[in-house]
Structure 1
């Protein structure tokens, strides 16, 4: 039999199909199973519309048979089958899809189209077999024919079609696997465990049973005459087993899925040992049809804050997995969410490996973002203990989301934020904080530090608390950035207790402060001279009540930002312009004034360095020379 040449031109096109379109060779099994499923679908549809087709849907199946000795892997279906003309048309023309044509023929009849959802679109999936095989044989018998035909090809050199014998309708795709060479292991596709993993990974939700003969170990039956000392014996048996689940959990009605089923699916699918905090089971129909099942984990993955962590949802199209992690379906702020999305409406690229960026994808992503936010708000209101567990695991990520992209997501996320309350001595939302505000309170007040206890002892918080105002205690490095990104919520601005204007002053208070500054001018100048370039300015403080000193900053870089940047590689060059603030009503200021009035520059310098060191410690900033500071304090005690 003379070889026929592929109609779609040449070796170059087939090489492109085999070597360029598919990223991973293992995809070939997914493609062939999807084609087999399409063949089953077509026959199932025929049985609904043609009384001559005597077959029940429950009898349809896909069979996988590995043959190690012959290096053969067979994928069989008992679907609609192909005639000689079908083989030449569908397999002799690269990029012609029989499934695509079948679907096109149905498009004029919407009712008919709704009954069947074939997977194939492009007509190239079959040729993925040549990624792993050096010879492919297709034996097929159409459902309405007594003749069977065999199609054979070694690749781009062409193909032959000859008549053969086949008992039942359907198609067998028989691949002779390539030899293992150049680091490629093709033999693994003859191992039952490898085939089972690939079926579970890509084709678990194909609607028909995928059966394969697998080895199992079981205990032999105990002989009737066995004595008390009988030791159980085990044997290896081979049995046919359905590998795939067929009906995905997300396709079932929510009311018919038990919580333990949701949890078991999550732990098996995503490798977690803890139950998730929440599950979001949702669907939509209309312009874009999809089903989704999302999970909010209870713990932070070990690599969550590393570059190695990959966000994304598993993406399915009509039950076939297209992507393991589709990042475009999740915003970064919700990158901790796990789950699956299944839609027949995705615009796939030719290899079904990656998604074309289209309107459908954006619509689904926007809807899921709202669903996740809604579920978290509901958890926050209905189960505060569970929400605080979530916050402990992923609160930092929510805060990063507020800061990212110049605050683009801050309105989405601000309702989810929790901060420690000075008044409640517990976590509070911004909404609850605002509800407790006295009418005369001008701002949301916050204070940054390394811990709640340390912040509560800062001299800057004293005057705010004495006014009866509540303070949000911020203990994470990112918090100062969060407050600046939020800027204002519900008409109220955020103000650090360290800001000079944190408490608006009356005219009388401003006049008294100016008089104190003028009276202490000589002291301020002497301290600035003693400290030199270590500080930008020394001034009379309007933010201290009983404390002797504190450190503040002028300019866009706050002390909190400096602390944060010091932890980053290359960030040590970002410095705040430091200002030493002194309380003119505190005893240390009086001691300074006596030394200045006496012209004792040595004592002034010592006092200035001690106060500056205290201010650094209060601000959680490092002393430049701890040994010198300790010696200085000791010398003043003599």
Structure 2
């Protein structure tokens, strides 16, 4: 029932909730609006307290959730019992308790984000963040912005100090931004506002342009929402860039919590790769305990170094033991260390930084021609030509397992290693894809042998004296299995490998 000022009659609007309604004139004494609701049986059942809309505390929680920041007070009477008092204000203990109606205001009415930033204390931001997003710790960073123009909105975003326990265990993590329309809560966990790589951001967006009954399906096609999302994405990237430059310890704290998502964004978001690459941090062979940016790495490169080297492994110790690092370590060249599963995929997507291509120490050629002397390059070519027949024989013995056998220029103390071709995926990528049941993707395996290792001399002698012998075949198989073990791969025939090692040990004892 409603009656406008100056009108003698009111208007009655009535509906059964079936999509139809009636409107008619009615008598109404006072101006204003009165709304009367009839609650269905299923929503006034005392046995289902959480859905009982006649329960005052259920109504209070709904108001808090959806209308806490409406600028007008929402009041409700709460019944409580209290004993009467005498003339002096003392409680009459023997008197029966009487029911008293206490009128309470349910909503806070004043949205923090609508106030000017210079009037808001940091503690107020922190308290709002903890209350809404149920976190025990203050946020790492706060972004509060008000935008007017093609689209009008106020955004209050928070970067948490720590990732939730289930953040990387499940992609269905409780993520998303809250949406408000003129201070009225309309949607929780809106995932369509920010890209997946920013899913760690918590916060809210309030816009008068949002519809109160907007659905998730409509959001996917909402141009205004997409424009707001793009603006927020740019703002977040800029905030992280400033943090990296102005407060490195704070940024490194952020990176250890959410860096994996930024790297995932480089792999998945083509449009923002150039911006995101400046945010990358990696440990390296020179600064083991520190993290370095790509810009810092390039700034330390020797003038003749043409590529950015990186190595993959499960941790620092395992990467340090890689035989593929031996030559680079000898020359004092810095190598980025990649420990996260997404790291190599991210660099593979980037391909280069500042004109310098990324080069895995375990893929293709190391591109050291400019750093080697002419005599060194000449000697390497002569050794390869001199041992062409041996290399071809080893390749034939390992046919079906490898794509090529090469004399190695990267090994110094180790006998053998496996690398992959520049074209296609790497060995570490192959392992990761196999773990997610995508074993169809295989790396082109290349066996590299160190021509200066005593094992090579023994292999060469066997080839010259008994190329068809079981001993030569076993040597070839053992070198391949050894290379697999170095890469963390299991030999295709572990029992056969063990038997060959035992036979080799036995022959060594017999010769003595």
How high is the TM-score relative to the length of structure 2? 0.86
- Once residues 501 and 455 of structure 1 are traced to their aligned partners in structure 2, the CA distance between those partners, rounded to angstroms, is 19
In the alignment, which residue of structure 2 is the partner of 1:635? 503
1:149-298 superposed matches below 5 A: 150-154=12-16, 159=22, 161=24, 163-166=26-29, 168-180=30-42, 188-214=52-78, 239-298=102-161
Of residues 477, 486, 492 in structure 2, which corresponds to 1:609? 477
- Once residues 137 and 402 of structure 2 are traced to their aligned partners in structure 1, the CA distance between those partners, rounded to angstroms, is 52
- Does the aligned pair in 1 maintain the 2:363–2:426 contact within 8 Å? no
In the alignment, which residue of structure 2 is the partner of 1:572? 439
Say whether residues 1:360 and 2:224 are aligned partners. Answer: yes
Say whether residues 1:423 and 2:291 are aligned partners. Answer: no
Change (3 A) 1:218 1:431: farther
Cα deviation, residue 308, structure 1: 2.4
Cα deviation, residue 307, structure 1: 4.1
* CA deviations over 1:499-558 (Å, ceiling 9, x no partner): 343133265444322221222223223322333322222221122222211101234121
Say whether residues 1:461 and 2:329 are aligned partners. Answer: no
Where does structure 2 lack aligned partners over 5 or more consecutive residues?
Answer: 92-96, 507-512
- Once residues 20 and 400 of structure 2 are traced to their aligned partners in structure 1, the CA distance between those partners, rounded to angstroms, is 81
1:315-330 superposed matches below 5 A: 315-330=179-194
Cα deviation, residue 581, structure 1: 0.6
Change (3 A) 1:396 1:317: same
Higher RCO (CA 8 Å, separation ≥ 6 residues) = 1
In the alignment, which residue of structure 2 is the partner of 1:42? none
1:69-148 superposed matches below 5 A: 139-145=1-7
Say whether residues 1:520 and 2:387 are aligned partners. Answer: yes
DSSP-derived class of the 2:501 partner: helix
Cα deviation, residue 341, structure 1: 0.8
- Once residues 230 and 74 of structure 2 are traced to their aligned partners in structure 1, the CA distance between those partners, rounded to angstroms, is 35
- Once residues 152 and 547 of structure 1 are traced to their aligned partners in structure 2, the CA distance between those partners, rounded to angstroms, is 87
- Does the aligned pair in 2 maintain the 1:455–1:473 contact within 8 Å? yes
- Once residues 81 and 277 of structure 2 are traced to their aligned partners in structure 1, the CA distance between those partners, rounded to angstroms, is 56
- Once residues 528 and 157 of structure 1 are traced to their aligned partners in structure 2, the CA distance between those partners, rounded to angstroms, is 81
Of residues 353, 356, 359 in structure 2, which corresponds to 1:495? 359
Say whether residues 1:550 and 2:417 are aligned partners. Answer: yes
Matched positions, count = 486
- Once residues 171 and 378 of structure 1 are traced to their aligned partners in structure 2, the CA distance between those partners, rounded to angstroms, is 52
DSSP-derived class of the 2:341 partner: coil
* CA deviations over 1:339-380 (Å, ceiling 9, x no partner): 11112234x3x8344555344333322221121112212222
- Once residues 435 and 84 of structure 2 are traced to their aligned partners in structure 1, the CA distance between those partners, rounded to angstroms, is 63
Change (3 A) 1:190 1:632: same
Cα deviation, residue 462, structure 1: 1.7
- Once residues 277 and 215 of structure 1 are traced to their aligned partners in structure 2, the CA distance between those partners, rounded to angstroms, is 43
DSSP-derived class of the 1:175 partner: coil
Cα deviation, residue 291, structure 1: 1.0
In the alignment, which residue of structure 1 is the partner of 2:343? 479
Where does structure 1 lack aligned partners over 5 or more consecutive residues?
Answer: 1-138, 227-233
Cα deviation, residue 625, structure 1: 3.0
Of residues 205, 208, 229 in structure 2, which corresponds to 1:344? 208
- Once residues 528 and 217 of structure 1 are traced to their aligned partners in structure 2, the CA distance between those partners, rounded to angstroms, is 92
- Once residues 234 and 83 of structure 2 are traced to their aligned partners in structure 1, the CA distance between those partners, rounded to angstroms, is 52
The two structures, once aligned, show a CA RMSD in angstroms of 3.1
In the alignment, which residue of structure 1 is the partner of 2:314? 450
Say whether residues 1:413 and 2:281 are aligned partners. Answer: no
- Does the aligned pair in 1 maintain the 2:186–2:213 contact within 8 Å? no
DSSP-derived class of the 1:324 partner: strand
- Once residues 165 and 503 of structure 1 are traced to their aligned partners in structure 2, the CA distance between those partners, rounded to angstroms, is 89
* CA deviations over 1:415-458 (Å, ceiling 9, x no partner): 11111111111111111112222222211111111111111111
Of residues 393, 403, 406 in structure 2, which corresponds to 1:539? 406
- Once residues 159 and 313 of structure 1 are traced to their aligned partners in structure 2, the CA distance between those partners, rounded to angstroms, is 38
- Does the aligned pair in 2 maintain the 1:538–1:580 contact within 8 Å? yes
Change (3 A) 1:446 1:216: farther
In the alignment, which residue of structure 2 is the partner of 1:623? 491
DSSP-derived class of the 2:37 partner: strand
1:34-53 superposed matches below 5 A: none
Change (3 A) 1:560 1:158: closer
- Once residues 352 and 215 of structure 2 are traced to their aligned partners in structure 1, the CA distance between those partners, rounded to angstroms, is 44
DSSP-derived class of the 2:131 partner: helix
